[in-house]
Amino acid sequence: MLSSRGCFAALLTHAAWQHLAAAATVTYDFNITWVTANPDGAFDRPTIGPLPRISADVGDNIVVHVTNQLGNQTTSLHFHGLFQNGTTQMDGPSQVSQCSIPPGSSFTYNFTINQPGTYWYHSHVHAQYPDGLRGPLVINDPDSPFLGMYDEEFVVTVSDWYHDQMTDLLPGFISKNNPTGAEPVPQAALWNDTQNLKVPVEPGKTYLFRMINIGAFAGQNIWFEGHNMTIVEVDGVYHQPAVAEMIYLSAAQRCSFLVTTKNETTANYAFVASMDTTLFDTLPDDLNYNVTGWLVYDDTLSLPEPATVDELNFFDDMTLVPYDNQTLFGEPDKIIELDVIMDNLGDGANYAFFNNITYSAPKVPTLYTALTAGELATDPTVYGTYTHSFVLEKGEIVQIIVNNLDTGRHPFHLHGHHFQAIYRSAEEAGTFEDSGITEADFPAIPMRRDTLVLYPDGNIVLRFRADNPGIWLFHCHIEWHVASGLIATMVEAPLDLQRTLTIPQDHLAACAAQSVPTAGNAAGNTADLLDLGGENHPPAPLPAGFTPRGIVALVFSCVSGILGVAVVAWYGLAPDPSAAQSPVETEATTATTTAVGTSNAEAEGPVLVTGAASGGGGASRS
Ligand SMILES: [Cu+2]
């Protein structure tokens, strides 16, 4: 449907799908391999893919046969936003609900979808998806309340793009040479894995755009020149139509909106995605953080350059009202409070923490621990210290409070559920506890989605019903922060899982091929499930006080300082009157040349003003 510049070199992956009548089985063969691609027209690089869009109807059974032909990396597939009700073993995160798929082997995902809307799939192992293992997943709904309101639909992805592979970027990101945890800044933004995307439209029609941010890092400000967007769905949940001039889509979020075209064909119109540069610690001079596409009414007419935008006033998704009018869940049975902290560990690198825990994958996938721990499966201890596991009882109302003690925006995603987004503070509001907000302040009909943006130094409150037994991660969807540990684990109704689940043989074979144990606690201990000796753990904390190396460094600094002062005094007291310049100035100058990256506020060129309470901000854009 959409014209694309055909940037991906060769289609080595093919999808075979057969679509039968109601409740069909839709089958895909994913031969996951490396190709060479140049989606921004600037740089050829090895890329995973391209892979097909997954498309099915509500009620269909989806089967994805994966063959890992990467050669050098394991892989996995997560189907973002799908509940996987009854099939948590198909959710995809490595060491959570499966072992990763080794090179040269095959693995089948098989699940039924009973939810409509716009989703995507991506790898969920060693920060792999930004290298290309990502694509749209659309579930058509013959009962959609908006079906009669549009003529045609377009599926459009937006993303950031890096010229380097994740395996090259990660070691520098989590490193003592990057103690502030500055995330690599992408080189470009893409529409549908290309740039200058043309979307052919006809006058006087209405189109449904299913827009998906499949990026690794950057949130995107999105607008259409001369046209409004009428939002009808976010993250697979229908909402009452709401008109927006600009939306913000974080990594992993989706938004479906209606665009009604003009009644004339006298011009074409640009639509723009502009990366949220407030996330970037540096703003390289050569970075074009915008990507443009066009609504093409007449392909003989020019494609106009987008106009400069003075302000980024994007729509506040918290004001949306679900179409089904589902009311606020009652007061929670369980409250989980998580403080987002960025800090350094003993290796000098920067890590991300919920409270005092940065995630380390367990030796045994968490699901397999749940299935083999007997009655102890309800004791969070067995899942290990660094999976940050919370055991949820079936049917209870769970409230997650996230306090951002960090100065960045973070999009938080819960697997296996839509949550009610019942509160989001302004930036700089502090913790939820300090906000004075009570039950009476929550909306009667809160908006629902599966990924919600938390603002800098602010807080969010989410609520969901634990009606889906399984192992579900809760994590920031910035892939850098997944790598640095901003993950907690929800273990939902594990005794139900023991009664109902069978792990397929190919899943167990993936573990066996890599000698990953499939029974026991997080440390692989099957005899004493409460003994976590030998479990995987992050680097030790920075030692309190001074280390021996620090003391030695301090002594040498003091000695050299005293010597320096003595030399200066000796020099100053010397009888030669022609010595006009003190060497002190020279030394002082050379001693202060260590600069940590340029901040946004200091960057040359278009300078972003950090958003105010509404999340908007000022910017000069073109
Ligand atoms: Cu984050």
Average pLDDT value over all residues in the chain: 89
pLDDT score, position 565: 72
Q: Give 129 Cα–ligand 1 centroid separation in angstroms.
A: 16
Q: Quick check: 590 pLDDT over 60?
A: no
- For the chain, what percent of residues have pLDDT higher than 70? 85
pLDDT score, position 50: 83
d(CA 512, CA 530): 24
Does the residue 551 lie in any domain? no
Q: Are residues 153 and 295 in the same domain?
A: yes
**Tens-digit pLDDT profile for residues 76-108:** 999 999 999 999 999 999 999 999 999 999 999
Q: Quick check: 584 pLDDT over 90?
A: no
Q: Give 562 Cα–ligand 1 centroid separation in angstroms.
A: 45
Q: Give 336 Cα–ligand 1 centroid separation in angstroms.
A: 18
Q: Give 533 Cα–ligand 1 centroid separation in angstroms.
A: 30
Chain-centre distance for alpha carbon 213: 9
**Tens-digit pLDDT profile for residues 228-241:** 999 999 999 999 99
pLDDT score, position 561: 72
CB 249 within 8 A of CB 382: no
Q: Give 22 Cα–ligand 1 centroid separation in angstroms.
A: 40
**Strands, sheet with 78-80, edge to edge from the N-terminal-most edge strand:** 54-57, 134-140, 117-122, 78-80
pLDDT score, position 613: 29
Residues 6 or more apart whose Cβ sits within 8 Å of residue 387: 359, 360, 361, 362, 366, 487, 488, 489, 522
The stretch 611-616 carries a mean pLDDT of 31
Q: Are residues 313 and 345 in the same domain?
A: no
pLDDT score, position 10: 30
Of the segments 7-16, 486-495, 550-559, 585-594, which one has the largest average pLDDT value? Answer: 486-495
Q: Give 412 Cα–ligand 1 centroid separation in angstroms.
A: 7
Chain-centre distance for alpha carbon 224: 24
| 118: confidence class by pLDDT, cuts 50, 70, 90 | very high
Greatest C-alpha distance within the chain? 102
d(CA 225, CA 203): 15
Does the residue 617 lie in any domain? yes
Q: Quick check: 591 pLDDT over 50?
A: no
Question: Of 468, 483, 513, which marks where a domain is finished?
Answer: 513
Q: Are residues 69 and 181 in the same domain?
A: no
pLDDT score, position 558: 67
Bridge partners, 64 (sequence order): 28, 109
The stretch 283-294 carries a mean pLDDT of 94
Q: Are residues 446 and 500 in the same domain?
A: yes
Residues 6 or more apart whose Cβ sits within 8 Å of residue 617: 278, 311, 312, 608, 609, 610, 611
CA nearest to 377, candidates 494, 535, 526, 496:
494
Q: Give 429 Cα–ligand 1 centroid separation in angstroms.
A: 18
Question: Of 513, 532, 567, which marks where a domain is finished?
Answer: 513
Bridge partners, 272 (sequence order): 223, 292
Does the residue 525 lie in any domain? no
Q: Give 346 Cα–ligand 1 centroid separation in angstroms.
A: 21
CB 216 within 8 A of CB 182: no
The stretch 252-280 carries a mean pLDDT of 98
Q: What φ, ψ does residue 218 adopt, rounded to 5°?
A: -75, 130
Q: Give 192 Cα–ligand 1 centroid separation in angstroms.
A: 24
Does the residue 579 lie in any domain? no
pLDDT score, position 608: 30
Q: Are residues 343 and 317 in the same domain?
A: no
pLDDT score, position 576: 58
Q: Quick check: 610 pLDDT over 70?
A: no
Q: Are residues 137 and 149 in the same domain?
A: no
Q: Give 358 Cα–ligand 1 centroid separation in angstroms.
A: 13
Q: Give 381 Cα–ligand 1 centroid separation in angstroms.
A: 26
Q: What is the pTM of this model?
A: 0.86
**Tens-digit pLDDT profile for residues 524-546:** 999 999 999 999 999 999 887 66
Report the b/e string of 229-249 with b at 16+ CB within 10 A.
bbbbbbbbbbbebbebebbbb
Q: Give 411 Cα–ligand 1 centroid separation in angstroms.
A: 6
Q: Give 197 Cα–ligand 1 centroid separation in angstroms.
A: 29
Structure tokens at 548: 């021996």
The stretch 332-346 carries a mean pLDDT of 98
Q: Give 603 Cα–ligand 1 centroid separation in angstroms.
A: 22
Does the residue 60 lie in any domain? yes
Q: Give 385 Cα–ligand 1 centroid separation in angstroms.
A: 21
Lowest mean pLDDT among 21-25, 57-61, 258-262, 558-562: 558-562
CB 33 within 8 A of CB 69: yes
Q: Give 328 Cα–ligand 1 centroid separation in angstroms.
A: 27
Structure tokens at 125: 């192992």
pLDDT score, position 544: 74
Does the residue 519 lie in any domain? no
Q: Quick check: 343 pLDDT over 60?
A: yes
Q: Give 578 Cα–ligand 1 centroid separation in angstroms.
A: 60
Q: Give 215 Cα–ligand 1 centroid separation in angstroms.
A: 13
Q: Give 107 Cα–ligand 1 centroid separation in angstroms.
A: 30
Q: Give 430 Cα–ligand 1 centroid separation in angstroms.
A: 17
Bridge partners, 26 (sequence order): 62
Q: Quick check: 12 pLDDT over 60?
A: no
The stretch 184-206 carries a mean pLDDT of 97
Residues 6 or more apart whose Cβ sits within 8 Å of residue 62: 25, 26, 27, 28, 54, 56, 79, 109, 110, 111, 112, 113
The stretch 430-459 carries a mean pLDDT of 97
| 277: confidence class by pLDDT, cuts 50, 70, 90 | very high
Q: What is the CATH number of the domain that holds 409?
A: 2.60.40.420
Q: Give 471 Cα–ligand 1 centroid separation in angstroms.
A: 21
Q: Are residues 254 and 398 in the same domain?
A: no
pLDDT score, position 64: 98
Q: Give 344 Cα–ligand 1 centroid separation in angstroms.
A: 16
Q: Quick check: 578 pLDDT over 80?
A: no
Q: Quick check: 583 pLDDT over 60?
A: no
pLDDT score, position 513: 98
**Tens-digit pLDDT profile for residues 152-194:** 999 999 999 999 999 999 999 999 999 999 999 999 999 999 9
Q: Are residues 453 and 505 in the same domain?
A: yes
Q: Are residues 61 and 79 in the same domain?
A: yes
d(CA 203, CA 301): 15
Q: Give 353 Cα–ligand 1 centroid separation in angstroms.
A: 10
Q: Give 181 Cα–ligand 1 centroid separation in angstroms.
A: 11
d(CA 201, CA 299): 10
Q: Are residues 67 and 182 in the same domain?
A: no
The stretch 457-472 carries a mean pLDDT of 98
Helix (H, G, I), strand (E, B) or coil at 213: strand
pLDDT score, position 176: 97
pLDDT score, position 554: 64
Q: Give 406 Cα–ligand 1 centroid separation in angstroms.
A: 9
Does the residue 556 lie in any domain? no
Question: Of 497, 513, 529, which marks where a domain is finished?
Answer: 513
Q: Give 495 Cα–ligand 1 centroid separation in angstroms.
A: 32
Q: What φ, ψ does residue 369 adopt, rounded to 5°?
A: -65, -45
Lowest mean pLDDT among 3-12, 104-113, 297-306, 431-440: 3-12
Bridge partners, 61 (sequence order): 25, 112
Residues 6 or more apart whose Cβ sits within 8 Å of residue 276: 218, 219, 220, 221, 248, 409
Domain count, the chain: 3
Does the residue 584 lie in any domain? no
> Which range of residues forms the domain containing residue 421?
334-513
Q: Give 476 Cα–ligand 1 centroid separation in angstroms.
A: 5
| 604: confidence class by pLDDT, cuts 50, 70, 90 | very low
CA nearest to 448, candidates 227, 237, 154:
237
CB 189 within 8 A of CB 159: yes
Q: Give 410 Cα–ligand 1 centroid separation in angstroms.
A: 4
Q: Are residues 110 and 157 in the same domain?
A: no
Lowest mean pLDDT among 219-223, 325-329, 568-572: 568-572
Q: Are residues 115 and 221 in the same domain?
A: no
Lowest mean pLDDT among 19-23, 311-315, 411-415, 573-577: 19-23
